């Protein structure tokens, strides 16, 4: 590796970060080479079946590093976040610790930012660890996030940790009105921007098909709602 870039993605709002990393991994077919050791960073959950506890294999890590030699990119994928500040902060520190060992030049994340109303074309804005990187984002047609904001969870904290450890960092924020569900349009918007920013040539046709299915389904749903509303209004007038 020669000063590789790193893309980090764990489950979060709209599943934007996780779907971004999964989609790019599917396109690049990177090689698994390391993980973050558990058990103390394993899930704080116990499973039961018919009243009996099911022991978890806490030696299997859900946090893995992959490498694309062709693109000189490390991809860090995780199956979960803890939702517990101490563990999430420690996981972010572990990611950056590994990045330092591998002489990573810059860490990227793509995450969701919550908006109240649905928009047909989610906007992607950016934050970064330096004014020079903000200028880079603007040169790539990415708007800088306005005002003050807070990003919780590993996908955000890892950028702040990168700054403290002398590593550059960029987070792209894709708008979503559906923070609790998979927002495929927010994922698509984020994937397009980060692939352009990182100069990764990937096939977007698969996710574009999913976006079209979502749009068609939404249009049918809205049409049904409007027809029902019109019918209810007509019945109300007759009554």
Average pLDDT over residues 83-110: 93
CA distance 131 to 46: 45
Pair of tokens at residue 215: 């749009």
Rounded average pLDDT over 95-102 = 96
**Cα separations (Å) of 11 from 1, 48, 94, 151, 179?**
27, 24, 17, 14, 11
More reliable by pLDDT, 237 or 175? 175
Percent pLDDT > 70 in the chain is 91
The answer, yes or no, to whether residue 239 has pLDDT greater than 70, is no
pLDDT (tens digit per residue) in 178-219: 888 889 999 999 999 999 999 999 999 999 999 999 888 877
φ and ψ at residue 200, rounded to 5 degrees: -105, 120
What is the CATH code for 5-202? Answer: 3.40.50.10900
pLDDT digit string, tens, across residues 29-85 = 999 999 988 666 666 777 898 999 988 777 788 899 999 999 999 999 998 888 888
**pLDDT confidence of residue 10:** 94
Residue 154 contacts residue 84 (beta carbons within 8 Å): no
In terms of pLDDT, which residue wins out, 222 or 165? Answer: 165
Q: Round the average pLDDT of the chain to a whole number and report it.
A: 89
Boundaries of every domain in the chain = 5-202, 204-239
Q: How far apart are CA 189 and CA 28, in angstroms?
A: 19
Q: 98 in helix, strand or coil?
A: helix
Which residues neighbour 81 within 8 Å (Cβ) at sequence distance 6 or greater?
Answer: 10, 11, 12, 88, 91, 153, 154, 155
């Amino acid at each position: 590796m020669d000063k590789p870039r790193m893309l980090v993605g764990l489950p979060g709002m709209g599943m934007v970060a996780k779907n971004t990393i999964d989609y790019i991994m599917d396109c690049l077919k990177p090689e698994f080479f390391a993980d973050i050791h558990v058990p103390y960073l394993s899930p704080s959950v116990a499973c039961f079946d018919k009243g009996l506890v099911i022991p978890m294999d806490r030696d299997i890590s859900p946090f893995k590093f992959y490498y694309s030699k062709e693109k000189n990119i490390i991809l860090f994928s995780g199956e979960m976040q803890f939702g517990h500040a101490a563990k999430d902060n420690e996981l972010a520190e572990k990611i950056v610790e590994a990045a330092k060992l591998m002489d990573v030049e810059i860490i990227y994340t793509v995450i969701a930012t919550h908006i109240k109303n649905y928009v047909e074309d989610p906007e992607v804005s950016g934050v970064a660890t330096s004014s020079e990187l903000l200028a880079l984002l603007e040169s790539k047609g990415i708007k800088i996030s306005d005002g003050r904001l807070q990003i919780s969870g590993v996908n955000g904290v890892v950028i702040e940790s990168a700054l403290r450890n002398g590593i550059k960092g960029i987070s792209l924020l894709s708008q979503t009105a559906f923070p609790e569900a998979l927002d495929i349009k927010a994922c698509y918007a984020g994937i397009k921007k980060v692939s352009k920013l990182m100069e990764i040539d990937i096939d977007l046709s698969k996710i574009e098909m999913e976006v079209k299915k979502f749009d068609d389904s939404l249009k049918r749903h809205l049409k049904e709602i409007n027809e029902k509303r019109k019918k209810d209004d007509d019945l109300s007038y007759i009554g």
